[in-house]
Amino acid sequence: MPTNRTFTMIKPDAVLDGFTGPIIQQIEEAGFRIVAIKKVHLTPEEAGKFYEVHKDRPFYGELCEYMSSNPIIPMILEKENAVSDFRELIGATDPAKAAEGTIRKRFARSLSSNAIHGSDSDENAAIEGAFFFPNGN
């Protein structure tokens, strides 16, 4: 089966809450292979650049402040059907609405501190992965 890639970040709340290990375990058990991984503390400007698509949304300021508040764990992942399978694994944006057993249901605090990011298209996966891993790994 051909594989493709998605991009994810374990967000500050989940890193602070000590959920990095169990989240990575769930990702690997779901069949994703980690292609690239690191720990990074974004500046507010870097977070603003990453989330530029949301710049006109009311939550943009809060989102950038939150994403630069503490370290995050960005990763490039590989699997067949990676983007949509990963969105299913993490669950709905709001953990209160996420399905039982999904990463957000298990580990997120709230809508604005929702534990993990997952790219929403192959195109965005490539753009977002290159933001953190410009050499591709």
- Using the rule CB under 6 A, is 120 a contact of ligand RTP? yes
Count of residues engaged in binding ligand RTP, rule: CB under 6 A: 9
Within residues 19-48, the interface with ligand RTP by CB under 6 A covers none
114 is in an annotated binding site: yes
**Residue closer to ligand RTP, measured from CB, 51 or 133:** 51
**Residue closer to ligand RTP, measured from CB, 61 or 136:** 61
Please state, in angstroms and as integers, the Cα–Cα distance from residue 92 to each residue in 46, 98, 105, 133, following that order: 25, 4, 8, 26
5 is in an annotated binding site: no
Q: Which residue type occupies 109?
A: R
- Using the rule CB under 6 A, is 114 a contact of ligand RTP? yes
- Using the rule CB under 6 A, is 111 a contact of ligand RTP? yes
Place of tokens 């500046």: 43
Q: Which residue type occupies 48?
A: G
Instruction: Answer for the pair 26, 88: CB distance below 8 angstroms, yes or no.
Output: no
How buried is 118 (Cβ within 10 angstroms: 0-12 exposed, 13-18 middle, 19+ buried)? Answer: buried
> Contact positions toward ligand RTP, by CB under 6 A?
59, 63, 93, 111-112, 114, 117-118, 120
